Amino acid sequence: MTQPKSLMLILYFYIQFLSSKSFNFTYHGFNDSNLIQEQATVIKPSGALRLTNTTQNVIGHAFFPTPILMFNNTNSNVSSFSTYFIFQIRPSSSKNNGGFGLAFTLSPSPRFLFAEGGHYLGIFNSSNDGSPLNHIFMVEFDTVNGYKEESNTNGNHVGININGMNSMASQPASYYKNGTQATEEVHLESGDPIQAWIDYDGVKNIVNVTVSPLSVPKPIRPLMSEVIDLSHVVMENMYAGFSAATGDKSSSHYILGWSFRINGEADKLDLNRIPYVPPEKTSSTNHKVKKALLASFAVLLFILLLALASIVFCRRVEVMESWELDCPHRFEYRELHKATKGFKESEKIGVGGFGAVYKGILPSNGAEIAVKKIMSNNPLQGMREFAAEIESLGRLRHKNLVNLQGWCKHKNDLLLVYEYVPNGSLDSLLYSSKNGIFLTWQQRFNIIKGIASGLLYLHEEWEQIVIHRDMKSSNVLIDTRLYDHGKTSHTTNVVGTIGYIAPELTRTGRASTSTDVFGYGILLLEVVCGRGPIVYEADRNVILVDWVVECMQKGNIFDAVDGKLNFEYEVEEVELVMGLGLLCSHPRVEVRPTMREVVKYLNGDEILPVFDKLSCAGSRRVDDITSRLLALGLISDTSVSTLFYTSSAGNLSSSSLDTGR
């Protein structure tokens, strides 16, 4: 297998604040919404959201524009949620033989690559149907039976599905009359508005699904009540929305109103404010319209071809190569140019070794994005390797990594598109108060555990090893490189930041998982101390690791703790993080732990060897700590300060240190 040659791509670490507050939204019609709309979906002038029309074999998606935090702060349970919406399905004829239905969906992404219509409802395809890697929860309102059968028949049922089209639970569409055990059928394709409620109890792990006609209030007894633990299905950030599809049978699928809430009951919709859906045009009328359009098209076709030829000769057209079709979503350059206001300087939110990062707002749906603009002096060299890495990164899925949304190649530039992270970088939150936000110790501890979990995924748990190579708090964007497991890197250039670079990287120029661990160790100390990797102390520049060890030598390691915390922290946790930071940033590669070991230390599954069982009195005598380090073979009789910083940044002059980050 050919390895990428010195090519850099970008990943975000998504720094999140855990919050137990309720999140909710309500739509009475969608004229003023900024939903993410895909393929056949349109918003009608009345405000009705039409997912598909009666055209055969089309797909429509509509999703709330920002991901929703699904997990509870206090434990690993999925938060309770509730949604209430009104939909309307109008078949292509009066004989109620339309199809194929719609589904409410929770998904890690608002886009479904290579999804198929028909029975797959625009969400899955024949190859990924049923895969646990989908992480999709859905409730389907299906109007056609015959999934994986030789023929299709009329269907009218509601199903709860996990990761595929085989329903865990399914019932004919109906509702229980209040106070009785009797049910009344609800005809999904009646052409009339229908109400649907989906409620998940995150404590009891129960999913309730209820439907009724518009004239019937929410029944007391749900149609289905199933025990389903979603903690193994959904990811921390999920998109909520709808998907619909047609096949050889077709219907118009509408959403008229929608409310959603985390940790509470979804708001009731005011039925007087629900938009009206005009009657579908008859097939004869449609036929006349089509004939008129065809006649007009025949007249204009020649003019259109001439205009197209003129555009080709008058403008430089960007040509798509065949291999580009296999990569994730390709954005139009003009779309990204408009989103970033022409890559205006005021929209720049970061600068890396391979280009600048810009904030943007997509004109098509109002979604916020971050665009990394990578400069390339040789547009031909390595494009296939770039494509291979983009395709791989598009499949990375972890709750502490922001997903790659797409890309664009324009002239000599490669543009990578990610979700925009509104909370900014860890650097900005450590050293300045943003919007009144101050990082408490518990938030800092949660962040470093989240980063460790993400690094473990990149190093060991994905199908390839991913090395991000520039681990620092100010990096919203993190450089990455892909290798096969068990193979070494062939990097010849050093990429990193003074104070974070592992000593061996300056000698060999080869990045590895161990150099990532070194940078992570510096980051741990930075989070505890509230200081950058270069500390200005007593009219001199001091490496952060040296400064922490000096505090040790003076007799109290807690002098190094960020004063902004005002002593409001867990002593044992601070001691653990500082000890782990020193161990990870050890100059000897063989002494550093792996990220799997780091995660075990942070979760309390194993005890950190350097600092286990020390008292919590607040004073850490240097002779006690030094003796433990000597006993473990981590240091020699030379000074501790000399040990912990040998060449983190190579042989640097004071002027080079003054350049900081």
User: Which residues form the catalytic set?
Assistant: 470
Report the chain's terminal Cα–Cα distance, integer Å.
Answer: 36
Task: Confirm or deny that 399 is annotated as ligand binding.
Answer: no
Phi, psi of 304 (to 5 degrees): -65, -40
C-beta atoms surrounding 139 within 10 Å: 22
Give the residue among 424, 422, 393, 423 at the shortest CA–CA distance from 407.
393
Spell out the residues 6+ positions from residue 373 whose beta carbon is closer than 8 angstroms to its own.
343, 355, 356, 357, 358, 413, 415
Give the residue among 128, 118, 117, 123 at the shortest CA–CA distance from 139.
123
Beta bridge pairs of residue 86? 195, 257
- Encoding tokens for residue 297? 């098209």
Question: What distance in Å separates the CA atoms of residue 457 and residue 466, rounded to the nearest whole number?
Answer: 9
Q: Which residue has the tokens 């900081």?
A: 660
- Encoding tokens for residue 136? 């999709």
Strand 413-419 relative to strand 465-467: parallel, antiparallel, unpaired?
unpaired
Determine contact, residues 340/308, Cβ cutoff 8 Å.
Answer: no
Inter-helix orientation angle 595-602/441-456, to 10°: 150
Determine contact, residues 195/149, Cβ cutoff 8 Å.
Answer: no
C-beta atoms surrounding 250 within 10 Å: 23
Give the residue among 615, 534, 538, 530 at the shortest CA–CA distance from 566.
530
Q: Is 256 left (phi over 0), alpha (psi -120 to 50) or beta?
A: alpha
Question: What distance in Å separates the CA atoms of residue 644 and residue 500, rounded to the nearest whole number?
Answer: 13
Q: Is 424 left (phi over 0), alpha (psi -120 to 50) or beta?
A: left
How buried is 121 (Cβ within 10 angstroms: 0-12 exposed, 13-18 middle, 19+ buried)? buried
Three-class SS of residue 231?
Answer: helix
- Is the bond preceding 354 in cis, omega lying within 30 degrees of 0? no
Question: What distance in Å separates the CA atoms of residue 312 and residue 465, rounded to the nearest whole number?
Answer: 43
Question: What distance in Å separates the CA atoms of residue 81 and residue 67, rounded to the nearest whole number?
Answer: 14
Q: How many residues does the chain have?
A: 661
Spell out the residues 6+ positions from residue 287 whose beta carbon is closer than 8 angstroms to its own.
none
Three-class SS of residue 189?
Answer: coil
DSSP conformation letters of 450-464: HHHHHHHIIIIISSS
- What would the 3-class secondary structure string for 525-588 be? HHHHHCCCCEEEECCEEEEHHHHHHHHHHCCCHHHHCCHHHCCCCCHHHHHHHHHHHHHHCCCC
Three-class SS of residue 508?
Answer: helix
- For residue 192, give the DSSP letter: S
- For residue 2, give the DSSP letter: P
Phi, psi of 447 (to 5 degrees): -65, -45
Q: Which residue has the tokens 């002494």?
A: 591
**Residue ranges for the binding site for ATP?**
373
